[in-house]
Amino acid sequence: MLIIPGIDCFDEQTATDHINAAAGFSEWIHIDIADGKFTPIKTWGTPQEFSIFSSQFSKISFEIHLMANDPEKVVEDWLKAGAKRIIVHLEALKDPGLVAELCKKYGAESMISILPTTPIGKILPYVKYFDYVQLLTVSPGLPGQKFGGDTVNRINFLKENVPGVRIEIDGGINPETARLVKDAGAEIAISTSYIFNSSNPRAAFDELNKS
């Protein structure tokens, strides 16, 4: 299973510090973009600000998690800025085909995310458009929340109903929950607080990989 460090910051300096740190030990970096409408809070980051990092770290692949209303209106801006994978939410999506086609146009991967409060069956008609499915285990936007208890059942449901599905887990990932979702069949796990609340982010990242 691939562990990806997550960037969920409210200001440019913290985002810069975390991205610079993560670029030293991971080939992928996940950036949360919360618009303050789909989510209760607004995080750092515009496509223009992000493009500085995607240019500086050209060997790093960035995935952008758009926790935003009307993602179709902003997806292309993030792709132009250098995103290698775009994550959009089922609950905000109106045109899955458009998002998928834009990602293909720019040589990027696409992923659809579902909130933990949304019945998992609702995602089934949309999965065919996307390269990955993300299961969010916490409420969107706020870092440091605990891992949701029904996640393993949701992974099992997808594995049983969508042959070949590739799943990313986001929220509450630590060594214990990383092992749990890997054993259930997840391919990717995002860890934010566990890594960056540590006094040694690289050591925390290595510990997650060993787990």
Q: Which residues are catalytic?
A: 32, 170
Query: In the beta sheet, which residues pair with residue 67?
Result: 34
**Three-point CA angle 11, 17, 21, nearest 5°:** 145
Alpha-carbon torsion, ordered 87, 92, 153, 169, to 10 deg:
20
Among 166, 158, 88, CA closest to 124: 158
Instruction: Write the secondary structure of 4-31 as one string of H (helix), E (strand) and C (coil).
Output: EEEECCCCHHHHHHHHHHHCCCCCEEEE
Amino acid 124 reads L
